[in-house]
A and B are shown apart, each in its own frame.
Chain A
């Protein structure tokens, strides 16, 4: 295991250093360095401590990134394969245009989680957020699985603790994929072109392996997590933009 102290490095040098060493790697004292492990392939595990900068794991192509702290914006931007595990919270636009692999976040996510996720053939990206999400969750979602659990976080600021499971305008422009929400969603308003229904056994089977891994990773009792009803949201029509911008 190779260890890099990031405190002396800008993002370019840090990423070059990570790339020039094969195998698993621990990066300590991250402080805002962008693009950590961006585009990385193979079976390496990169463990990051501190506060990594924006676009962590962008274009990730197979490696696993573990972050022992909070992350900032655009984690896993356009990632294609691999895994990102975040033991803290994540900023805005996590999984932006993600096309494969999975992201597990123990804490909360900011605005626009899973914006424009997509899926094709075998590629089915998955994001599980352990805490709460901001507004525009799953904006323009075109594919993949997005799960929000709403589990309370010990580190939550009072301002976050009093918030609803998700902010305003979830699923705006959604035209593919599935959104799973744990707990009461009766107060939530969805656009007319999506439909929400209680999760069926089949729905739950679909995410079961991911939930198992999530619970193992972060030390949750799976029975506590699935002991609460889930709601599933899917797009209603193949033409969700009808009359949204123009009549087409």
Chain B
């Protein structure tokens, strides 16, 4: 078999498609519509990656972390499972159900584990649960050859592959899952070869990112974030955005709005024209987290437990449209994708560069 290059082994010198939907009432939606939404944006991808994240999909295991893994072979799987058994109580282990279709080939072994960290291990390491899960994921992804964790949150999951997104969604049978929010991505890789693990969403704990763009601050961001135990193994800019989200939201306790003000900070000239309180807030965030300013074109949707955040780079070098209908809010690279999900969507508008759109499920 031909050796497929993994992300990180090669850098080729983007267009992508993103879409998302959330029910503010927390109502379940099958993956059918979000898969359909990617079809009119087909030409934004080139078949080298597609993926989805669904929130609220594992109600029967909502107390466990759902680890989704790619294995190159059964040897990698056996080795990794030994490690998982030492680290977690494994409540359930199973193959992720897929459909065999000609459009999706060369699939790795795709497994999921619903796990709880062992209390005794947490106590001896003096770590909280989430930090422990993050460290375990990092350890597997950097040290275990042939094993890769691509999803690790509670009651959510990322599903991704090499292929066009509409085929990837069908492959993973997403029409059989129900989620209160979905995000989707069609990939047109510009800098890396396109490997299953490099497809979007990138996910860590319950944070997931789908991204259209190519950030020019990748190395500056990577150098900063790697000081805090994150390891960027894939040379793709989306991975670093995911770790930045985890760092700012979970470890620093920032709000989503504050995170947006850090990564898509307004220009100093724009800040100067704002009211004093706002100037103070933005100056503080820009100064403290200056290395986490993300420059270059991007439009992203961040998924998290109970909500979504859409954000454009501050120059708005990528397109993004938002619309709504009843309890649902739709986000996509193109309005056509929203019209597929809801032909009668209302209040169609485009967020400005750096203007976060945050939608949360009402509690």
Chain A residues with a Cβ under 8 A of chain B: 10-11, 31-34, 50-51, 53-54, 70, 72-73, 89, 91-92, 110-111, 134-136, 155-160, 163, 167-168, 189
Nearest-neighbour CB distance to chain B for A107, whole angstroms, equals 10
Kindly state whether residue B224 has any CB partner on chain A within 8 Å. Answer: no
A-B contact pairs, 9 of them (CB 8 A): A32-B334, A51-B334, A73-B319, A91-B321, A110-B319, A111-B353, A155-B348, A157-B348, A159-B351
**A240-B352 Cα distance, complex, nearest whole Å:** 27
Residues of chain A with a CB closer than 8 A to B353's CB: 111, 135
Residues of chain B with a CB closer than 8 A to A72's CB: 319, 334-336
Residues of chain B with a CB closer than 8 A to A136's CB: 315
Are A135 and B340 CB-contacts (below 8 A) given A32-B41, A53-B334?
no
Nearest-neighbour CB distance to chain B for A171, whole angstroms, equals 15
Nearest-neighbour CB distance to chain A for B272, whole angstroms, equals 10
Nearest-neighbour CB distance to chain A for B278, whole angstroms, equals 15
**A203-B266 Cα distance, complex, nearest whole Å:** 35
Nearest-neighbour CB distance to chain B for A110, whole angstroms, equals 5
The 5 closest A-B pairs by CB, nearest first: A32-B336, A32-B40, A157-B347, A157-B349, A51-B336
Kindly state whether residue B350 has any CB partner on chain A within 8 Å. Answer: yes
**With contacts A34-B43, A91-B335 known, what are 10 further pairs, Cβ within 8 A?**
A10-B42, A51-B334, A72-B336, A91-B319, A91-B321, A110-B316, A111-B353, A135-B316, A155-B346, A189-B273
Interchain CB contact under 8 A, A167 and B348 = no
> Chain B: which residue is nearest A160 at the CB level?
B349
> Chain A: which residue is nearest B355 at the CB level?
A159
Interchain CB contact under 8 A, B316 and A53 = no
**A86-B270 Cα distance, complex, nearest whole Å:** 32
Among the listed A10, A51, A134, A158, which residue makes an inter-chain contact with B350, where contact means beta carbons less than 8 Å apart?
A: A134
> Chain A: which residue is nearest B332 at the CB level?
A32
Interchain CB contact under 8 A, B350 and A31 = no
B307-338 vs A: 1/0 string, CB under 8 Å?
A: 00000000110010110000000000011110
Residues of chain B with a CB closer than 8 A to A158's CB: 347
**A189-B315 Cα distance, complex, nearest whole Å:** 17
**A73-B40 Cα distance, complex, nearest whole Å:** 14
**A33-B42 Cα distance, complex, nearest whole Å:** 10
Kindly state whether residue B339 has any CB partner on chain A within 8 Å. Answer: yes
In the complex, chain B residues 25-55 whose Cβ is within 8 Å of any chain A Cβ:
40-43
Among the listed B316, B322, B335, which residue makes an inter-chain contact with A70, where contact means beta carbons less than 8 Å apart?
A: B335
**A39-B211 Cα distance, complex, nearest whole Å:** 32
Interchain CB contact under 8 A, B316 and A51 = no
> Chain B: which residue is nearest A88 at the CB level?
B348
Residues of chain B with a CB closer than 8 A to A156's CB: 349
**A73-B334 Cα distance, complex, nearest whole Å:** 9
> Chain B: which residue is nearest A12 at the CB level?
B43
Interchain CB contact under 8 A, B334 and A167 = no
Residues of chain B with a CB closer than 8 A to A10's CB: 42
Interchain CB contact under 8 A, A51 and B335 = yes
Interchain CB contact under 8 A, B336 and A31 = yes
Nearest-neighbour CB distance to chain A for B347, whole angstroms, equals 4
**A92-B335 Cα distance, complex, nearest whole Å:** 12
Interchain CB contact under 8 A, B319 and A92 = yes
**A160-B353 Cα distance, complex, nearest whole Å:** 13
Interchain CB contact under 8 A, A32 and B316 = no
Are A134 and B335 CB-contacts (below 8 A) given A31-B340, A92-B316, A92-B319?
no
Nearest-neighbour CB distance to chain A for B297, whole angstroms, equals 11
**A31-B273 Cα distance, complex, nearest whole Å:** 40
Residues of chain A with a CB closer than 8 A to B350's CB: 91-92, 110-111, 134
Nearest-neighbour CB distance to chain A for B236, whole angstroms, equals 24
> Chain A: which residue is nearest B273 at the CB level?
A189
Are A134 and B316 CB-contacts (below 8 A) given A70-B335, A157-B347?
yes
Nearest-neighbour CB distance to chain A for B52, whole angstroms, equals 19
Interchain CB contact under 8 A, B40 and A134 = no
Nearest-neighbour CB distance to chain A for B24, whole angstroms, equals 15
Interchain CB contact under 8 A, A31 and B319 = no
Residues of chain A with a CB closer than 8 A to B348's CB: 70, 89, 155, 157
In the complex, chain B residues 179-208 whose Cβ is within 8 Å of any chain A Cβ:
none
Are A31 and B349 CB-contacts (below 8 A) given A72-B334, A92-B319?
no
**A10-B39 Cα distance, complex, nearest whole Å:** 10
Residues of chain A with a CB closer than 8 A to B41's CB: 32
Residues of chain A with a CB closer than 8 A to B336's CB: 31-32, 51, 53, 72
Are A111 and B340 CB-contacts (below 8 A) given A167-B352, A168-B270, A189-B273?
no
Residues of chain B with a CB closer than 8 A to A167's CB: 352
**A129-B43 Cα distance, complex, nearest whole Å:** 29
Interchain CB contact under 8 A, B40 and A31 = yes
Residues of chain B with a CB closer than 8 A to A189's CB: 273
Residues of chain A with a CB closer than 8 A to B267's CB: 168
Nearest-neighbour CB distance to chain B for A169, whole angstroms, equals 9
> Which interface residue of B41, B315, B337, B350 has the most chain A CB atoms within 10 A?
B350
Residues of chain A with a CB closer than 8 A to B319's CB: 72-73, 91-92, 110
